[in-house]
Structure 1
Amino acid sequence: MRRLLFLLLMGTGIVSAQKTMQLSEGQESPSASLKEVAWIEGSWSGEAFGGTAEEIWSAPLGDSMMFVFRLVNDNKVSFYEVGHIQQLENSLILQLKHFDGNLKGWEDKIETIDFKLVKLEKNKVYFEGLTMELVDKNHMNVYVLIEENGEAEEILFAYSKKP
């Protein structure tokens, strides 16, 4: 499967997409707490990239909410992500690492993909290049700005909460 790389653009406002945002140059992340994004907790699944995408999020604990993600195509894991939303001083950051189906890391062992907080609304959180919105108690949309072959595209992951 082709590798997906998250695009972290240095720009202002909304970047070639309708749902994701970027911090302006010199702009700092706003104040926020994990309590304000605790609605993300749960087990979510949906279709993406021709397969099944699944995310499992923990409740806030120890200044973080951890998650795991997997994409399954043709009954085989295409890739995993492991990460967290971390309380960092008075704001939040989403950090993750990618792994192939055999748990071989994509990033160097000390490298993470970081998404700084841009804006927070009730039931919606904007990180740089990644937006999460609670549609209702059983549905969540995640929009991710992805770069592939020099092209940027916003991808929707429409999740349903698993019982």
Structure 2
Amino acid sequence: MKNLLLFFSVLFLTLSCKAQNTLTYNNEKGVSKATLQDVEWISGTWRGEAMGGICEEFWDKPSAGTMLFCFKFIENGKVVFYELGHIKQIDNSLVLEIKHFGPDLKGWEKQDEKESFQLVKIESNKVYFDRFTFEKVSENEMNIYVVFEESGKEMKFNYKRM
């Protein structure tokens, strides 16, 4: 019985660790060094399905210290919301900044507010921002993992290059 309990405990911990694809920024560790060239592989037009609808994203190539993106979520043939943002070079690191808009282009955040996600670290095929991870699966496929603030749950968005 003891061995069975130990087996299930180890299995649960293994599955829990494997499912976690995002990291949280820690002020005490400081910022990771990176440039926009380290994340240039994200640039392009992407499409996928998530949250019961279709997700489309466009990322431009690095220029003027940023990589601009726009996101559109479509459900039942209608736009539900948009996001506009960028990955911005700040000193020797990166930050992801996002603003949300309804289908009528009315902003969700106040005019001078935005969501910011500090870079945590970069690996060969993953870019970790605070609660937000980009994973390069191949030249034509990527996953984005996001931890939603309200629920604390991580969601996976799988994209194919268009």
Which TM-score bucket, shorter chain as reference?
Answer: 0.7 to 0.9
Deviation at 1:28? Answer: 1.3
Identity of aligned residues (%): 46
In structure 2, distance between residues paired with 1:62 and 1:43: 20
Correspondence for 2:90: 88
In structure 1, distance between residues paired with 2:146 and 2:156: 7
Correspondence for 1:57: 59
1:1-163 superposed matches below 5 A: 18-148=20-150, 151-162=151-162
Q: Which has the higher contact order (CA 8 A, sep 6+)?
A: 1
In structure 2, distance between residues paired with 1:77 and 1:27: 40
In structure 1, distance between residues paired with 2:89 and 2:26: 21
Question: Which 4+ residue blocks in structure 1 deviate beyond 3 angstroms?
Answer: none
Stretches of structure 2 lacking an aligned partner (at least 5 in a row): 1-16
| AA at the equivalent of 1:73 | E
Query: Quick one: structure 1 residues 92 and 25, their matched pair in 2 at CA, closer, same or farther if it must change by over 3 Å?
Result: closer
In structure 2, distance between residues paired with 1:95 and 1:139: 23
In structure 1, distance between residues paired with 2:81 and 2:26: 32
Normalising by structure 2, report the TM-score.
0.87
| AA at the equivalent of 1:98 | H
Normalising by structure 1, report the TM-score.
0.86
| Secondary structure in structure 2 of the residue aligned to 1:38 | helix
Is the Cα contact below 8 Å between 1:117 and 1:128 reproduced in 2? yes
Q: How many residues align?
A: 146
The structure richer in strand per residue is 1
Deviations 1:74-111 (A, max 9, x none): 11100000000000011000001000000000001110
Deviation at 1:147? Answer: 2.9
The structure richer in helix per residue is 2
